[in-house]
């Protein structure tokens, strides 16, 4: 697996170098600059799990390499599209006896590609820092008598640690409090680094303001950085961590499944006539869960984070982002509140999700 990862990474970096050299000549600065980042990206793509949580210097180093990896991928895609475009122009010239294709020189193609990618990265950086509030309404006939509305506020994939700044979390928690939640939930990947000394982050999360409590489940990144320290951090933040467990709040039942759970636990049984909320990190609806919940809240996908990953994901999995109805039950997949690695998002904005449970008409 490591060999294939490094081979693939090396191949498309060599392709980018070849295109840049064709456009700008064989200057040593191109070889040094692109070669250095190519080696960093190839190494970290193959070994980053071994160093997870290995200190802020490594996290910054990894973020730079990740950004370069994204830039390289985008450049590669743009260069390939340029070649396809030139192919169409070549065929056009043959058919119409013109010479349009000769106008698309390697330098012009490279300058266009670099400008396009630069604009995309600037926009992606802007989008990653601008969290939006997303509203969804779920009608149900199972709310406690006399309840006009029950508000759930969800965060997911915050990825605290590394390059996630405290001021960003402050702004997110201001949005949570302003929404005046009845129940506050986090659906995994809250942690993404060393969580042993995160007092300020824990205090911010504890100030959620939910009237009926806060609940969380673990995601894959809690396992990466260490499950024990991740759960300890969540508990310091005042979150009730549901690990294939159940709880009650505001007259509804809340189930929380571990990220690795693939079969419905026999200990979790739906209560007839009561609304059941299910928290699970990955947007997987278990085959054995039919009739066990009314609304499942998830994350994990980041909405793709970088277009066109999201639309491609939708071709292969059913639930990627937003609210979906699955028979008589609902599934909501959050785009996530933070970002993975470098602060870049393209057409997959981060969100604070506000879900209102209302009486069915």
CATH of the domain at 333: 3.60.21.10
Domain interval for residue 188: 133-359
pLDDT for 53 beyond 50: no
Q: Is 73 exposed, middle or buried (0-12, 13-18, 19+ CB in 10 A)?
A: middle
CB 323 within 8 A of CB 211: no
Q: Is 188 exposed, middle or buried (0-12, 13-18, 19+ CB in 10 A)?
A: buried
- In this structure, of 40-49, 50-59, 212-221, 248-257, the range with the lowest mean pLDDT score is 50-59
Q: Which pLDDT band holds residue 1 (cuts at 50, 70, 90)?
A: very low
Residue, of 193 and 295, whose pLDDT is higher? 295
Average pLDDT taken over every residue of the chain: 82
Residue 136: predicted pLDDT = 96
pLDDT for 312 beyond 90: no
Please list, residue by residue across 33-51, b when 16 or more beta carbons sit within 10 angstroms of its beta carbon and e when fewer do. Answer: ebeebbebbbebbbebeee
CB 216 within 8 A of CB 191: no
CB 344 within 8 A of CB 164: no
**Bridge-based pairing state of the strands 295-298 and 329-333:** parallel
Looking at the structure, do residues 160 and 115 belong to the same domain, yes or no? no
Strand order in the sheet with 351-359: 132-140, 351-359, 150-155, 183-187, 214-217, 240-241
Domain count, the chain: 2
Average pLDDT of the segment spanning 166-189: 94
**pTM score, two decimals?**
0.80
Rg (CA), the chain: 24
Distance CA 276, CA 256 (A): 11
Looking at the structure, do residues 89 and 167 belong to the same domain, yes or no? no
Residue, of 60 and 245, whose pLDDT is higher? 245
- In this structure, of 77-86, 121-130, 185-194, 267-276, the range with the lowest mean pLDDT score is 77-86
Sign (positive or negative) of CA dihedral 174, 178, 184, 188: negative
CB 352 within 8 A of CB 133: yes
Residue that is last in its domain, among 95, 127, 159:
127
Looking at the structure, do residues 142 and 123 belong to the same domain, yes or no? no
Residue, of 315 and 172, whose pLDDT is higher? 172
Most confident of 55-69, 139-153, 168-182, 279-293: 168-182
Average pLDDT of the segment spanning 254-263: 88
pLDDT for 47 beyond 60: no
Residue 73: predicted pLDDT = 67
pLDDT for 202 beyond 90: yes
Q: Is 327 exposed, middle or buried (0-12, 13-18, 19+ CB in 10 A)?
A: exposed
CB 235 within 8 A of CB 242: no
Looking at the structure, do residues 109 and 140 belong to the same domain, yes or no? no
pLDDT for 69 beyond 80: no
Q: How many CB atoms lie within 10 A of CB 227?
A: 15
Looking at the structure, do residues 264 and 173 belong to the same domain, yes or no? yes
Residue, of 130 and 82, whose pLDDT is higher? 130
Structure tokens at 310: 């999201």
pLDDT for 8 beyond 50: yes
Residue 61: predicted pLDDT = 62
Percent of the chain having pLDDT more than 90?
34
Residue 334: predicted pLDDT = 95
Percent of the chain having pLDDT more than 70?
78
- Of 263, 265, 190, 270, nearest to 230 by C-alpha is 190
Looking at the structure, do residues 90 and 147 belong to the same domain, yes or no? no
Beta partners for 184?
153, 214
Most confident of 15-29, 56-70, 153-167: 153-167
Looking at the structure, do residues 156 and 260 belong to the same domain, yes or no? yes
């Amino acid at each position: 697996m490591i060999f294939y990862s490094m081979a693939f990474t090396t191949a498309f970096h060599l392709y980018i170098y070849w295109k840049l050299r064709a456009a700008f000549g064989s200057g040593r600065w191109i070889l040094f600059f692109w070669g250095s980042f190519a080696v960093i990206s190839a190494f970290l793509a193959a070994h980053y799990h071994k160093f997870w949580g290995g200190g802020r210097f490594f996290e910054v180093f990894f973020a730079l390499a990740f950004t370069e990896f994204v830039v390289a991928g985008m450049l590669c895609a743009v260069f390939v599209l340029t070649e396809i475009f030139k192919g169409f122009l070549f065929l056009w010239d043959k058919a119409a006896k013109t010479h349009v294709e000769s106008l698309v020189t390697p330098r012009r193609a490279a300058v266009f590609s670099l400008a396009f990618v630069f604009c995309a990265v600037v926009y992606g950086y802007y989008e990653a820092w601008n969290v939006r509030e997303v509203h969804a309404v779920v009608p149900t006939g199972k709310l406690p008598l006399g309840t006009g509305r029950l508000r759930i506020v969800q965060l997911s994939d915050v990825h605290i640690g590394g390059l996630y700044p405290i001021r960003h979390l402050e702004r997110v928690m201001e949005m949570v409090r302003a929404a005046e939640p009845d129940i506050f939930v986090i659906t995994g990947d809250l942690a993404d680094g060393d969580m042993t000394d995160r007092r300020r982050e824990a205090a911010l999360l504890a100030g959620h303001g939910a009237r009926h409590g806060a609940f969380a489940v673990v995601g894959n990144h809690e396992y990466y950085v260490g499950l024990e320290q991740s759960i300890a951090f969540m508990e310091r933040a005042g979150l009730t961590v549901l690990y294939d467990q159940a709880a009650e709040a505001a007259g509804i039942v809340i189930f929380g499944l571990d990220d690795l759970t693939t079969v419905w636990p026999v200990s979790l049984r739906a209560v007839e006539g009561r609304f059941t909320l299910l928290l699970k990190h990955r947007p997987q609806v278990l085959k054995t869960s039919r009739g066990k919940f009314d609304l499942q809240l998830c994350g994990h996908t980041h909405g793709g984070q970088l277009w066109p990953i999201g639309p491609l994901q939708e071709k292969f999995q059913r639930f990627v982002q937003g609210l979906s109805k699955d028979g008589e039950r609902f599934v909501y997949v959050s785009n996530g509140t933070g970002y993975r690695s470098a602060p870049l998002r393209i057409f997959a904005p981060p969100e604070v999700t506000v879900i209102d449970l209302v009486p069915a008409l």
